[in-house]
Structure 1
């Protein structure tokens, strides 16, 4: 007879964990594992990585979940491997082979020309095997049922793209892209531009926004740590707000702002502001400034602030 499972005692945990997601796990599976390891009450991730992809996955806990959209909107950097001459049903190695073609001679000049073709603003049709929804249903659900539905092309930006040959049939792709860009689709489109088609055989996210893979912890390393060390891996919530101008409010001004009231001061107009209280310094929320008025956007609760101040001292981002 199996012993009953020990119930995990959840607790309030606040901050950002930079995870190097392993292959084979969905983003949600990785999130749930880390949530369990930290015994956290509330958590969310900042954009999915396919099970066949690895790399940077910022996970938000507690108060940090209020600002996770900022990472969803951030530019991402990827490294990928493209197998030329073979097209699959999913655009990656998981799918069935649907076409095979001869691969032309791949020269550096040819790759440089294709890279230029795909650098800058593009219109990209999302793949059927994606979590994007149509009529309330994920596209991959239609695909699994053997249905193909019409998808509207979306505007994306390829900020930088480098292509190099690993061998006569394999490319290395490195790209920094805007939100909403599908690297599988980019790999397929590059294969078509070369006249032979192709599919992704490996994908790794090396950066998202201001975070890169050198800052990340692996799941195995996190699991091997004592609990205090796991908590020490958390960055403070304000690590999500590097582009926000800081404003500090004192005493009663901080309390009034935290209750949702606008404050007046000699602040220049700013679209993104991170507002802090002093003594002790603590994040209160975000705002914008217009005509000397500090207008609240997203606020932490007084309970969240007290929990953060009582949490194990966090490193600065």
Structure 2
């Protein structure tokens, strides 16, 4: 299968290498140091004791890569407008576009979310729901160098996918088989929305706390104070999901040891955090159902406050430079 991974971050790079080694024609949209390193030396994934290496076509110009059978968007949710602005050359009528982001996705059927998650309707206009594939990813990764990735969950690399439009179900089933052949778990699912909320519960109750406390996700999960706080957040979000008529509980799997959440990795690298999809959108849905979420609201306030302070510090440092 001809597959383009849009975004050469830790998750995207891990998926790209595994798909390439399984015999697919894989390309990457990358920029800056990552693009230079991948084109010079290839892409490497350290997974337990295994070293996975692949040479891939990589470019910062999607038009140079041509139309694809599938595009896996591994950029963050707030980067979707940039994807939409350059994605058209990657698409033909039957291209599947897999949105592998955390949080509530742009296509989620709830009132009032589009201005937040798909400003100006750019993704819907360029991609459309008929080509869109919802996804939930479980894969713990970190960048060690521009073209070297540490996969800290070598026994668990899962991409659950489902068609947003029923007309693309057969193509999604084919992509699911391709993922499985590459050693990437891709289970069947009857309701991707439930899987989205189950992952969201883990992200909000562990990953955001990891960002705030600047410790690994496992340390936060096991902490005598933050562990119960995360459990309370999980209970609130599970109640919202149930109001959406979804079979979701507040159970959370223990994170991989030694892994820093992607939100913390982004903040340490000076990148914006995933806030709208992980924080604001669930709050909006909770308000629509009239459900109080005091613990989650506090989490949102603390996360937005820290993000604003980091941005102010970055601006001050740039002004001094």
- TM-score scaled by length of structure 1: 0.23
Higher strand share: 1
Bigger relative contact order, structure 1 or 2, given CA contacts below 8 A and separation 6+? 1
Task: Work out which of the two has the higher radius of gyration on C-alpha atoms and give 1 or 2.
Answer: 1
- TM-score scaled by length of structure 2: 0.23
